Amino acid sequence: MPNIKGIFAASITPLQRDYTPDLEALPIYLDFLAHRGCHGALLLGTTGEGPSFSPDQRVAIFRSAAEIRQEWPDFKLLAGTGTPSLDETIQLTRSAFDCGLDGVVVLPPYYFRDSADSGLLSWFSEVIDRSVPEGGHFFVYHIPGMSRIPISINLLSNLLEKAPNKFSGLKDSSGDSEFAARLGEKFGEDLSVFTGNDRLISTALNNHASGCITALANLISPDLKSIWDAHSQHESTEMIQTRVDHVRNIADKFAPFPPLIKFLLNHSFEFPYWPVCPPLEDLSPASANQVSRLIDLA
């Protein structure tokens, strides 16, 4: 299969004032990410507020995003399609591939949080068997802070054994550097691992990771791309990583990220001030004023 690797933005979703997706704005926004060095984008992940949208809205977003290929044919598109419903996840995953996207990033079924690895293996296997075409890329989304479901090395090994031509890897948003090292030690480059934490991109790359999928790639992708390029050329990433860490440390104080990023895209890059979908809320005026002083993206 063609390899997927590099710097991916966990893209925001532009919204209109009634909280419906701004489908005309999305390809324009993805063009911005491509110009700033991103190799691709993840649609409808956590930063993209994926669980807030209906299946029909998600499919419309897939179609809109695919328009970026007219200008950037090599720009990779992944989609978050995981829901607690097996059937809905299968339908969304099929739709993502039908719209021409390159792969999907799938949450575990996060309602039944005490499921054994054997149950999770059955669930993921059903999704892969019934919705991923030959040549499609299926990634597990490991974000235990949100899903409350940790993904084990054993589960990943069993998935790789069952579906070696469709199961490509995972987005690891655990923020656990030891887990990143264990992934590299166990799988090497047999599994495509994308770190979801900007602070860990150098560590992850040193442990055979394929790149990153992060919220801050919406804002600081040139620095993340510089880390990618330096690592590829066996050069030190320490200075750039320190700069990235500084921004991430500030951003973490204003989580969740969707309202923060949408504010900074407006403040620093003159995009419309897109709202976030409830229950998320826009930054308060006090927080916005503080962020604008602490994070300089000029």
What positions carry a catalytic annotation? 46, 111, 141, 171
What's the chain's Rg over C-alpha atoms?
Answer: 18
Q: Crossing angle of helices 217-232/25-35, nearest 10°?
A: 30
CB 84 within 8 A of CB 110: yes
SS3 content of the chain, % helix, strand, coil (to 5): 50, 15, 35
Q: How far apart are CA 200 and CA 166, in angstroms?
A: 26
Q: How far apart are CA 22 and CA 92, in angstroms?
A: 20
Task: Please give the structure tokens belonging to residue 283.
Answer: 């930054």
Residues sharing a CB contact under 8 Å with residue 18, sequence separation 6 or more, in sequence order: none
Cβ neighbourhood burial of 54 (10 Å; 0-12, 13-18, 19+): exposed
Q: How far apart are CA 83 and CA 14, in angstroms?
A: 21
- Nearest CA to 101 among 55, 56, 133? 133
Cis ω for the linkage preceding 256 (within 30 of 0): yes
Report the DSSP pairing between strands 211-214 and 192-195. Answer: parallel
CB 153 within 8 A of CB 174: no
